[in-house]
Amino acid sequence: MEEIRILVADDELPARGELKYELSAIPGVKIVGECGNGREVLAFLKAHPHVDMLFLDIEMPIMNGLECAKEIQKMGLPVKIVFATGYSQFALQAFELEAFDYILKPYNEARMRRAVERLQASMDIRQTASVPGEVTYDDQKISIQTKDKTLRINPAKEIVLVSTEKTDRTLFYTVSGIVESRMLLRDVEKLLTPLGFFRTHKGYIVNLAMIHEIQPQDNGTLLLTMTRYDKQKIPVSRHYIKPFKEVLHI
């Protein structure tokens, strides 16, 4: 079993102590640090980028957990974020930020253990074999390992778009159907961008050659109609509009 390196962030010292105590009781866990706000988390991760899991409180001073998670995304670090909070209303925002899990306070030992064991299982499988849905790339083709077979496809000609619907699942919309992967969307973006793909939204990557129609919206955004999947309208959010237009010369 590979060791899981965990960083704990909570502005309340007793809560951090409880969290560290409960996590330390899980076999294979190493607590590598603790922080009291989002800025401390970012500073720690810049100095120690090889953290596997971050238990992140949402309501913290100086920089809250949601703001911190957005900055971590920009840094491109593979750390899995588990939001730990006393409020359920932040769940949607948390999962939009590709959270690995969302745990409500007071901390539940069994709930935390399940989150850690899920990551441990994923890491153990990756050490010994291809994960169902793992994507590898060579010679202009990618291999997508499903539960019962390996698909070899040419991304430029066969992938129409890629989307994420859950924090641990990415869907490849191909000319032959939809294939599920466990690869994170940000890792897919790094793989496919040099091959003519563009991220239009936090949840979508599209094949630029397979855009059929571009529709301007009243709110200043765009909607894309893709070849073969014309019933699924793909948004281009404000953050991506300028570079999107530049890459298409429109």
pLDDT score, position 183: 77
> Average pLDDT for residues 19-43, to the nearest whole number?
93
Q: Which phi and psi (to 5°) does residue 146 adopt?
A: -95, -170
**Least confident residue range of 138-147, 164-173, 179-188:** 138-147
Residue 168 and residue 242 in one domain: yes
> Average pLDDT for residues 130-156, to the nearest whole number?
65
* Domain harbouring 32, CATH code: 3.40.50.2300
Residue 93 and residue 186 in one domain: no
The answer on pLDDT for 95 being more than 90 is no
Residue 176 and residue 217 in one domain: yes
Which residues form the domain of 244?
Answer: 135-248
Residue 40 and residue 97 in one domain: yes
- pLDDT-derived band at 124, boundaries 50, 70, 90: low
pLDDT score, position 150: 74
Q: For the chain, what is the mean pLDDT? A: 83
Q: From CA 19, how far away is CA 9, in angstroms rounded?
A: 9
> Average pLDDT for residues 67-92, to the nearest whole number?
83
Residue 82 and residue 163 in one domain: no
Residue 234 and residue 171 in one domain: yes
- pLDDT-derived band at 73, boundaries 50, 70, 90: confident
The answer on pLDDT for 136 being more than 80 is no
pLDDT score, position 144: 76
DSSP label at residue 163: E
CA 54 from centre of chain:
13
> Average pLDDT for residues 78-83, to the nearest whole number?
87
Residue 8 and residue 114 in one domain: yes
Residue 120 and residue 139 in one domain: no
Handedness of CA 188, 121, 65, 111 (dihedral sign): positive
Q: Which of 128, 146, 167 is the last residue of a domain?
A: 128
pLDDT score, position 102: 83
- pLDDT-derived band at 224, boundaries 50, 70, 90: very high
Q: Which of 128, 149, 180 is the last residue of a domain?
A: 128
Identify residue 150 by its one-letter amino acid code.
T
- What total number of domains does the chain contain? 2
Residues above pLDDT 90, as percent of the chain? 34
pLDDT score, position 46: 92
pLDDT score, position 225: 94
How confident is the model over 45-55, as pLDDT tens digits? Answer: 999 988 999 99
Structure tokens of 107?
Answer: 């901390």
Residue 152 and residue 221 in one domain: yes
pLDDT score, position 126: 46
pLDDT score, position 222: 92
Percent helix, strand, coil in the chain, to 5, is 35, 35, 30
Q: Which of 101, 128, 155 is the last residue of a domain?
A: 128
Residue 194 and residue 222 in one domain: yes
Q: Tally Cβ neighbours within 10 Å of residue 58.
A: 24
DSSP label at residue 195: G
Residue 61 and residue 168 in one domain: no
Residue 241 and residue 205 in one domain: yes
- pLDDT-derived band at 64, boundaries 50, 70, 90: very high
* Domain harbouring 233, CATH code: 2.40.50.1020
> Average pLDDT for residues 225-235, to the nearest whole number?
89
